Amino acid sequence: MYKHVGTKLKAFAEIWCVLGVLGSIAAGALLYLVKKPPMALQYCIAIAVGGIIVSILSSWGIYALGDIHAKLERLEDKLIPKPNYMSYLETNQPLRGQCEICGKTTDLINAKIVDNLGTRYRKVCRECFAANGCEEK
């Protein structure tokens, strides 16, 4: 639940915007149609438009926060080597566990992955090692 919060916040912002726009339109229409005596049409339109604007602006703020968090996660993975990766890289002991790419439980290889995100160290299975062009470390 608390991993990769940035992508979840971005998805929440999109849902928030859609629901806010639809809710604002529905509120304006319902106020005009249901209220006795009917509310003036210009007030109902103002409520709908105002709700749409507030919904869009608030979703931008939530989306921006999620985007910043996602970019910081990527930057952290790129710049800060994880201590537990470095310790098992030095000992080079055989590992058994879950592959960090595909999730399969098997014997693992200490891999150095160099790509457009930079250099990362992961515990991967033999298939992912071959598929990702890793170097053994």
> Does the model's pTM come out above 0.75?
no
- Sign of the dihedral defined by the CA atoms of residues 128, 119, 2, 68, in that order: negative
Query: Which among 64, 79, 94 is the end of a domain?
Result: 79
Question: What are the residues facing 24 on neighbouring strands?
Answer: none
Produce one character per residue of 106-119: b if its CB has 16 or more CB atoms within 10 Å, e if not: bebbbbebeeeeee
pLDDT tens track for 119-131: 778 888 888 888 8
What percent of the chain clears pLDDT 70, i.e. is strictly above it? 87
Q: Does pLDDT of 136 surpass 70?
A: no
For position 82, what pLDDT does the model report?
Answer: 60
More confidently predicted of 33 and 95: 33
Does 73 score more than 90 pLDDT? no
More confident residue, 116 or 55: 55
Whether 58 has a pLDDT exceeding 90, the answer reads: yes
Same domain, 71 and 90: no
> Do residues 8 and 63 lie in contact, with contact meaning Cβ atoms separated by under 8 Å?
no
pLDDT digits (tens, 9 = 90+) for 76-98: 877 776 655 555 555 555 677 88
Which residue segment(s) compose the domain that 41 sits in? Answer: 5-79
In a shared domain, residues 52 and 99: no
Domain count, the chain: 2
Asked if residue 65 and residue 23 are part of one domain, the reply reads: yes
